Amino acid sequence: MSNQSDFSMHEDAIKAIDAKVVKYPNMPVGIYLQEGEDLYAWTNDDRAALLAAGLPEPVIDELPGRIGAVRYIQSRWNSKRFTKEEAQKQFALLAPVAYDLRDTLVHDMLYAYRRHPDLKSRVQAIADGSGDSDMIQDLSDLGVHGKNNPEPLAAVNFDMNKLDEAAAKSDELASLLGVAHGEKAVDKETKILRDKAYTFLKESVDEIRDCGQYVFWRNEERSVGYASAHKRRTRSAAKPATAEPEIADAP
């Protein structure tokens, strides 16, 4: 069964989870999912002992599907998140060129329209303001203004292609900025679903681990499989090195 099918199968149960009980990943999701896969394989070897201790068998059998559901919604969220990050990078790359084009157009038009107060004042009004959104609008407005009043521009040998470039840049950057700055509802919905799907999976993982640690409390060889290896490594790495005991000088 595909991850999308896994999500579809559990979608109603995931969406029904109350926001008040939602848990948030405390480790990279990919690592948690791999630990879930490892737990499922480990649990199958101990299935009889765990069922004898009262663990419902569906909790074991549904684990791969719950893992698949999280994988699917995590991938969806990642694709939206990375698209946003890519848009931010692309905008940062193109913005300096666009600002330069805007400034060039303003400079050229102020000179070309110097004997036409109404046309010049319109350029000054367009140039008033700051910020990315204002720059994008300026490019659009300057392009329209220039095309509507071409004669003074032609008189100073202005390159009319710049007006088309301004319109194209305005459209391109407006689209990028919408993605780069947009905290869209669909992004929030996907993040909420990811967190609920994680909570849905964690319910099973925690129940299996609790039962495994209960059953094998005196069997370290088996109980180790019912704890997070990632947390174990993190705790180990965080422990300070044990200093060698100091030996006092002999009296």
Domain segments of the chain: what residues?
A: 3-84+185-232, 90-181
57-to-43, 48, 62, 135, 217 alpha-carbon distances in Å: 11, 10, 9, 62, 21
pLDDT digits (tens, 9 = 90+) for 174-197: 988 888 876 555 578 889 999 999
pLDDT digits (tens, 9 = 90+) for 62-91: 999 999 999 999 998 888 777 888 888 999
Six-digit token string for 100: 């330069």
pLDDT of residue 146: 95
Residue type, 105: L
**How much is the pTM?**
0.66
pLDDT digits (tens, 9 = 90+) for 149-166: 999 999 999 999 999 999
Residue 175: alpha-carbon gap to chain centroid:
18
Residue type, 40: Y
Distance CA 99, CA 110 (A): 17
Structure-model confidence comparison of residues 237 and 103, the more confident one: 103
Query: Percentage of residues in the chain with pLDDT exceeding 90?
Result: 75
The tally of CA atoms less than 13 A away on the side-chain side of residue 247 is 1
